[in-house]
Chain A
């Protein structure tokens, strides 16, 4: 989507490997959100960054998931020791509620 760039667009990884997903809000925005969408399912909230406040991590499903963001710049979502149930599209959105095109993660 315009204004949010996500990379890679597709990622296939082996079970047990770590992956890093990237979100760039391009023009810089204080608020940035990560969501996960499994095939045929709704959007599942993961984490929310708001400026310099502590992020809302209440949606992270396990300690294998972590995310970082410095200021209003790029955010990275890291999944350690990937499992097959982590297969999903990972979507990032910025304030103004524009989504990136997502990263389709497949764990084999």
Chain B
């Protein structure tokens, strides 16, 4: 099993839609998690940190399910500018990145 697994997508959604991505991880000892977004030909940028059960920031909600070892990212009221690749990251010394989920928001 890979350390971090994500559905690659792409997720094609209309503006205003709600979309959710899941990420599963194999290291049950992991305590914190991150979601990054990466725009085409740009470096990844930290979007949200998840340290306990979840975190909310505006239209973005990250949730952690330790029992099932997955984290999710929910985006409400999708904007065109949300189109990007979303990367799930599990720190533990080195940062382990998932392969990313592609989101395309269309008008």
Contacts and interface: CB of A to CB of B under 8 A. Distances in A.
Interface of A: 1, 33, 35, 41-43, 45, 48, 50, 56, 58-59, 91, 93, 97-102
B97 A99 contact: no
B93 A50 contact: yes
B27 to A, nearest CB: 14
Contacts, number: 42
Interface string B1-43: 0000000000000000000000000000000001010000011
A98 B44 CA distance: 8
Looking at chain B's contact residues, is the secondary structure mostly helix, strand, loop, or mixed?
Answer: strand
Given A1-B43, A42-B99, A98-B46, A48 B93 contact: yes
Question: Of residues B42, B43, B46, which shows the largest number of chain A Cβ atoms within 10 Å of its Cβ?
Answer: B43
A101 B100 contact: no
Contacts of A35: 97
Contacts of B100: 42
Interface in B54-101: 87, 89, 91, 93-100
Interface of B: 34, 36, 42-46, 87, 89, 91, 93-100
Given A43-B87, A97-B34, A33 B94 contact: yes
